[in-house]
């Protein structure tokens, strides 16, 4: 029974913007709304997509969203499907300067969602995540991404270092981040296909990945806290690469 509840929770999103984007992407199977719910854009999507809709009490919405801010709407979504690495490579060939992001052990769902949001903003071709020791795509990630999960291709990979070699064979230069690096991220000219590696807050990018990188850069820090949230670092780096 506990496993069933956990699975159900992982397939639930809530709030107007996440549900709206999921509807647009045809990812919604059921919608639960309060009797007073009204949103012109979402109502138009209801007419177009025709999901199963059920009016429920505010208490039931609170329960389905685990007490989160649901804004009168909760949706049950289809499981997220991963893209194919080869397809991401094919997509990259259509972009003048493609960016692929590799995540090295991100285990916080909110971080992954926020990274996907930045990837959408800066037109990243795709995101690669390890099959193990990495948070998967789920409803919490979808909520944190504000809908970006529906637009950024994500592929699961085995060995990061083997993947790096394939990327190099396809013309990508590997850029990793490390606090001990000597290159300021803002001083590098990103005029080549970039594979950007983002590590976890706790361990950062693994040493073997750093060894296999073409460039290792750092974001200068001037405050008292000696680390940046992974999603914040990703946003800073992607902004510079795209500038």
Based on the fold, state whether residues 71 and 143 are members of the same structural domain.
no
3-state SS string for 18-39? HHHHHHHCCCEEEEEECCCCCC
Residues 58 and 134 in one domain: no
- CA gap 206, 105 in Å, rounded: 9
Q: 166's torsion region: left (phi>0), alpha (psi -120 to 50) or beta?
A: alpha
pTM of the predicted protein model = 0.84
Q: How far apart are CA 128 and CA 212, in angstroms?
A: 17
For the purposes of burial, counting CB atoms within 10 Å of the CB of 212, is it exposed (0-12), middle (13-18) or buried (19 or more)? middle
CA distance linking residue 83 with residue 9, whole number of Å: 23
HSE (CB half, 13 Å, CA atoms) of 25?
21
Taking residues 77-99, report their average pLDDT. 92
Residues 144 and 110 in one domain: yes
Of 35, 53, 77, which residue is a domain's last?
A: 77
> In the structure encoding, which two tokens stand for residue 36, read together?
């007073």
Domain identity same for 129 and 66: no
CB atoms within 10 A of CB 211: 10
CATH of the domain at 226: 3.40.1280.10
Answer yes or no: do 9 and 98 share one domain: no
Range of the domain at 49: 2-77
Residues 133-186: tens digit of each pLDDT: 888 898 889 888 888 998 999 999 999 999 999 999 999 999 999 888 899 999
pLDDT tens digits, 120-136: 999 999 999 999 888 88
Instruction: State how far the Cα of 21 lies from the Cα of 23, in Å rounded to an integer.
Output: 5
Q: Which of 77, 98, 122 is the last residue of a domain?
A: 77
Are 50 and 116 contained in the same domain?
Answer: no
- 60 and 91 in a single domain? The answer is no
* pLDDT of 226 higher than 80: no
pLDDT in tens, 190-223: 999 999 999 987 788 999 999 999 999 999 888 7
Instruction: Please give the tally of structural domains in the chain.
Output: 2
Domain boundary among 77, 108, 130: 77
Strand partners, 195: 100, 174
Each residue's pLDDT tens digit, 47-73: 999 999 999 999 999 999 989 899 999
Selection from 178, 95, 87, 96 nearest residue 128 by Cα: 87
Do 95 and 134 fall into the same domain? Answer: yes
The Cβ of residue 184 has, within 10 Å, a number of other Cβ atoms equal to 12
pLDDT in tens, 32-51: 999 999 999 999 999 999 99
pLDDT digits (tens, 9 = 90+) for 107-116: 999 999 999 9
């Amino acid at each position: 029974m506990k496993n069933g509840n956990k699975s159900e929770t992982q397939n639930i999103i809530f709030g107007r913007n996440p549900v709206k984007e999921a509807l647009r992407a045809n990812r919604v199977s059921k919608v639960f709304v309060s009797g007073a719910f009204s949103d012109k854009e979402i109502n138009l999507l209801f007419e177009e997509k025709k999901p199963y809709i059920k009016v429920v009490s505010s208490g039931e919405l609170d329960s389905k969203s685990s007490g989160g801010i649901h804004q009168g709407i909760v949706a049950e979504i289809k499981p997220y499907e991963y893209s194919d690495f080869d397809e991401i490579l094919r997509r990259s060939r259509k972009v003048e300067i493609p960016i692929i992001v590799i995540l090295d052990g991100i285990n916080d769902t909110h971080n992954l969602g926020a990274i996907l949001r930045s990837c959408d903003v800066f037109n990243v071709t795709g995101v690669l995540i390890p099959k193990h020791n990495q948070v998967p795509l789920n409803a919490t990630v979808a909520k944190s991404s504000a809908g970006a999960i529906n637009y950024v291709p994500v592929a699961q990979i085995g060995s990061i270092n083997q993947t790096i070699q394939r990327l190099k064979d396809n013309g990508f230069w590997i850029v990793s981040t490390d606090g001990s690096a000597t290159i300021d991220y803002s001083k590098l000219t990103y005029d080549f296909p970039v594979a950007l590696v983002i590590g976890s807050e706790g361990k950062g990018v693994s040493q073997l990945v750093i060894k296999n990188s073409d460039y290792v850069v750092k974001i200068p820090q001037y405050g008292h806290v000696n680390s940046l949230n992974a999603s914040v670092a990703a946003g800073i780096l992607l902004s510079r690469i795209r500038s």
